[in-house]
Structure 1
């Protein structure tokens, strides 16, 4: 029995180390210094934007698909982005972000469903945000910790990957693309 408990403890420690030092959470904004096109929120998240994505559940299977229409505007280093989502279930969701960008690349983000403010950094081709979000009541009303990474592609598209955790356990992951909406 002692060997089993010791083996389980070692396995859990290895999983924790992998997650902390080798996985998605191990990325830092400095990893993207001087790589790819320079991501500037004021330029690349501005105007009308189309978004398409999927949400994976804790088992890695797609649990939802969505599309979104965003409208972002900047005045100096302060921006707002209105998001209108449509899910494959027929549900809709709206969110309005406010971003403040500092000269060193640090970001503060606020939205009505955040618990506190989000914080992050833009460096090189990447943007990183961390925040806590409260799910709608019809989705349980849980508060999840979110790690958000956006990567600017050479063609101007943005790939977004987000992980959602509860008590440190991965409960969902989102992968989406965003691109400027073409004028009709």
Structure 2
């Protein structure tokens, strides 16, 4: 299957954000916090690559009916590095890819309306041999673990 802009899907070992996320992607995920909060969700993603920046629009649908939209902008700054921003992220993140694995960390407002719940995500995304990408993230507050997320991405 050929993606938008003529990019072919990445195989394990040559993972790039633009190679995997340009075009349509879907995901299923979960968020589990130590206070007992558990949320399941699906995500429809649309990625556009302009040769330097991947704009990745994420449309979330949560199991309680809530919907949300987030937009990542990943600027490629080296063969294996990207700078990323999103509307709820404080500052930016640096994504580093090694083989089939991308790692990045960022601070986000979980309640952006009053900026009262800032947490840090430590994400590890791995391109699997079957073509899915598995993202696991540890979420911390004041340096202590408070939640885990797991998201499995699939190319459409």
Q: Give the structure-1-normalised TM-score.
A: 0.73
Kindly indicate whether the alpha-carbon contact (under 8 Å) linking 1:84 and 1:93 is maintained by their aligned counterparts in 2: yes
CA RMSD of aligned residues (A): 1.8
Q: Unaligned stretches of 5+ in structure 2?
A: 1-11
8 Å contact from structure 2 (residues 134, 153) kept in 1: yes
With 99-108 and 120-129 compared, the bigger mean Cα shift is at: 99-108
Alignment of 1:86-97 (within 5 A): 86-97=61-72
- Describe the shift of the 1:139–1:148 C-alpha distance in structure 2 as closer, same or farther (beyond 3 A): farther
Aligned counterparts of 2:133 and 2:151: Cα–Cα separation in 1: 8
Q: Please state whether the residue corresponding to 2:56 is helix, strand or coil.
A: strand
> Is 2:74 the partner of 1:99?
yes
Q: Which structure has the larger Rg over C-alpha atoms?
A: 1
The correspondence of residues 43-82 of structure 1 with structure 2, limited to 5 A, is: 43-58=19-34, 63-82=38-57
CA contact under 8 A between 2:31 and 2:149: conserved in structure 1?
yes
Higher strand proportion (structure 1 or 2) = 2
User: Closer, same or farther in 2 for the Cα pair 1:37/1:179, shift >3 Å?
Assistant: same
2:94 is equivalent to residue 119 of structure 1: yes
1:96-175 counterparts in 2 under 5 A? Answer: 96-137=71-112, 141-175=116-150
Report how many residues are paired.
145
TM-fit CA distance, 1:107: 1.4
Which stretches of structure 1, 4 residues or longer, exceed 4 Å deviation after superposition? 137-140
- Measured in 1, the distance between the counterparts of 2:74 and 2:153 equals 17
What's the offset of the Cα at 1:140? Answer: 7.1
Match of 2:151 in 1: 176
Unaligned 5+ residue runs, structure 1? 1-35
Normalising by the residue count of structure 2, what TM-score does the alignment of the two structures yield?
0.86
**Structure with the largest fraction of helix:** 1
